[in-house]
Amino acid sequence: MIEKKISLIDLEQTWDFASKLANITNTGDVITFNGDLGVGKTTFIKSFINKLASEDVEVTSPTFNLLHLYKLEKFEIWHFDLYRIKNKEEIFELGIEDAFEYGISLIEWPEIIRNILPKDRLEIEMSFGESEFSREIILKAYGTWKNKIINGI
């Protein structure tokens, strides 16, 4: 595992970083998101998805549905929000194994499934910065993500 810290001073830098990350992502990639409520996980994911989409996509938090599936031209993006999951067996009913194999998996609140996450993954920890729109991000790259982070961002 390698770790990289990034400071983003405003929303524009956050969107730019999400876009850069989207550019180096492929089918089978798994990215998890941790951070306090309201820190911007879904906003980051919205920028990420819209970078990969050929047209603007409405991205909302799947807090109540647990999963939103976005079928884009080149990718399927599986956006999970596991905040309300109480039993990790529920995640299998949502098709997480298919997501790992056939799509790009973006997972908010992944703690409950940490032991079933692929070895190749990127963990993003987001926290509030000093100003209203600044954010501090810690990237933890595992497996093939190590080279992607070293070379791509």
Q: 11: helix, coil or strand?
A: helix
One-letter amino acid identity for 151?
Answer: N
Is the full-model pTM beyond 0.85?
Answer: yes
What pLDDT shows up at residue 136? 98
Beta strand pairing call for 135-142 and 121-128: antiparallel
- Rounded Cα distance, 14 and 137, in Å: 10
List all residues 6 or more positions away from 40 whose beta carbon is below 8 Å from its beta carbon.
14, 126, 135
Lookup result for tokens 């609140």: 109
One-letter amino acid identity for 83?
Answer: Y
DSSP structure class, residue 76? E
Q: Give the side-chain half-sphere CA count within 13 A for 123.
A: 17
What pLDDT shows up at residue 55? 78
Q: What is the mean pLDDT of each run of 10 residues along the chain (153 residues)?
A: 95 94 96 95 94 84 84 94 88 93 97 94 97 96 91 72
What pLDDT shows up at residue 131? 93
The tokens describing 133, both together, are: 């729109």
Q: Residue 103 belongs to what H/E stretch?
A: none
Beta strand pairing call for 67-71 and 135-142: unpaired
What pLDDT shows up at residue 145? 95
Homologous superfamily of the 2-144 domain (CATH): P-loop containing nucleotide triphosphate hydrolases (3.40.50.300)
Q: 53: helix, coil or strand?
A: coil
What pLDDT shows up at residue 112? 92
What pLDDT shows up at residue 45? 96
Q: Where are the domains of the chain?
A: 2-144
